[in-house]
Amino acid sequence: MTIAPPELPTELREDLHELYRHLHGTPELSMQEHATAELIRQRMETLGCETFLCGGTGVVAVLRNGEGPVVGFRADTDGLPVAEATGLDYASTARGVMPDGAEVPVMHACGHDTHITCAIGAAAILAADRDTWAGTVVFLFQPGEETAEGALAMLRDGLWERTPRPEVVYGQHVWPGRAGQIEISTGPAMAMSDGWRVTVHGRGGHGSRPEDTIDPVVLAAHMVVRIQSIVSREVPAQQSAVVTIATFHAGLKENIIPATAEFTVNVRNLDVGVREKVLGGLRRVIRAEAEASGAPEPEIEEIYTFPLLVNHPAETAAITTVLKGVLGEENVLDRPAQMGSEDFGHLPDAIGVPGVYWFFGGTPAERVDSDEPVPTNHSPFFAPAMEPTLTTGTAAAVAAIMSRVGTHR
């Protein structure tokens, strides 16, 4: 038997549902969240918050209520270049333009619309019930999480010089677990991640005369295959790493050997030493394969780096107790560290305060318990059920914040 999350006031619940539908249908790409930022500012100012833009399209909303602790709460705001296939009546048909100029469909395929809605819901509850708490809550609506740009952009824009510094920063993320439940990790929670773009140079020519060329397709293919042995043959079995090559582009016609080929690499791990070993192995293999083919040295462009997300052990234990009290012990589960990545950790790490980050489920219990596959984050079919997902996320946010600023804590 499970305990349902606390009921939201009917008017607030209906308002959050309408807000969520709107956000889901109007996603914007990373660092382009202009309309989203304006909507957030309007909503938060209506609740009595002081707001300002930070890091381009990020929004900081400060809710003050007298003397007391300062708490940070972060929600990310960007969508993904994914064509939605959920069939929802509020599905996204939005389009966006990538940095390379390509026009793409846009979808909230990672649930950031849910995060925005829950943060605004939490602010609404706090603003309406000021007699129960004292202090300051700094809501951080962060852009560009998907590209690892947003947190650093806000910090470079003077985030912690422009707003009260919190003593702790909280964050949360919807995922395809059971709706109504929370999962939380202690210590390392989400992996470091590095993205590279590799351009392999050869010598182009006619497909009938490969002897006059240096074929970059064959060369890059050898790199791709050899790279996969780095983890299996160089990383100890007791440790972990993931190497993924998800894009490979070369050539325009079947009888022309191109001059270049390009692929991207994604590396994830939970240990700095393993990261250095894998990245070093990547550079070695890429350069050695090019040399073996008599090709020029490839170009390696570092696209992004996500930090290791570490949940502060003592603060995590405290929040776990709080969430169990609100949602029921059976609905707050321990979660092992995972290979997904987040840039949330930059925000507390920049000022040396604890950070705690948890996941809340978005899949109805009957779907979880069935044999039917459950769409995951980044899937074109990912669509969290509005309830109890939004109520759970809002209740968790309020409970965490109130554990610091509540007058009866």
164 occurs within a structural domain: yes
What pLDDT was estimated at residue 196? 97
Residues 227 and 96 in one domain: no
The residue out of 284, 305, 326 marking a domain boundary is 305
**Statement: residue 1 has pLDDT above 70:** no
Residues 103 and 138 in one domain: yes
5 occurs within a structural domain: no
Catalytic residue among 33, 76, 78, 113: 78
Per-residue model confidence as pLDDT tens digits over 37-66: 999 999 999 999 999 999 999 999 999 999
Residues 44 and 121 in one domain: yes
Residues 110 and 27 in one domain: yes
pTM, 2 dp: 0.91
35 occurs within a structural domain: yes
Residues 336 and 383 in one domain: yes
| Residue 17 structural domain | 10-190+308-405
Q: Are 331 and 181 in contact (CB under 8 A)?
A: yes
Catalytic residue among 145, 146, 194, 289: 145
Per-residue model confidence as pLDDT tens digits over 365-394: 999 999 889 999 999 999 999 999 999 999
27 occurs within a structural domain: yes
pLDDT, mean of residues 110-135: 97
Torsion angle, CA of 186/190/192/193, rounded to 10 degrees?
180
Residues 288 and 352 in one domain: no
Mean pLDDT estimate for the chain: 95
What pLDDT was estimated at residue 407? 82
pLDDT, mean of residues 148-160: 97
Q: What is the CATH number of the domain that holds 184?
A: 3.40.630.10
Model confidence at 6, in pLDDT bands (50, 70, 90)? confident
327 occurs within a structural domain: yes
329: how many CB neighbours lie within 10 A of its CB?
12
What pLDDT was estimated at residue 7? 82
Specify whether 212 is catalytic: no
Residues 360 and 389 in one domain: yes
Structural domain count of the chain: 2
Residues 38 and 72 in one domain: yes
Residues 42 and 113 in one domain: yes
Model confidence at 408, in pLDDT bands (50, 70, 90)? low
Residues 28 and 134 in one domain: yes
Q: Which among 35, 37, 17 has a CA at the least distance from the CA of 26? A: 35
276 occurs within a structural domain: yes
In the block, which residue shows the tokens 């202090």?
135
The residue out of 282, 305, 328 marking a domain boundary is 305
1 occurs within a structural domain: no
268 occurs within a structural domain: yes
Amino acid identity, position 376: T
pLDDT, mean of residues 194-219: 96
Q: Are 295 and 200 in contact (CB under 8 A)?
A: yes
Q: In the chain, what percentage of residues exceed pLDDT 90?
A: 94
Specify whether 349 is catalytic: no
The residue out of 305, 323, 357 marking a domain boundary is 305
Q: What is the CATH number of the domain that holds 265?
A: 3.30.70.360
Residues 239 and 184 in one domain: no
Model confidence at 3, in pLDDT bands (50, 70, 90)? very low
Per-residue model confidence as pLDDT tens digits over 280-310: 999 999 999 999 999 999 999 999 999 999 9
Residues 116 and 30 in one domain: yes
Q: Which among 195, 200, 185, 135 has a CA at the least distance from the CA of 317? A: 185
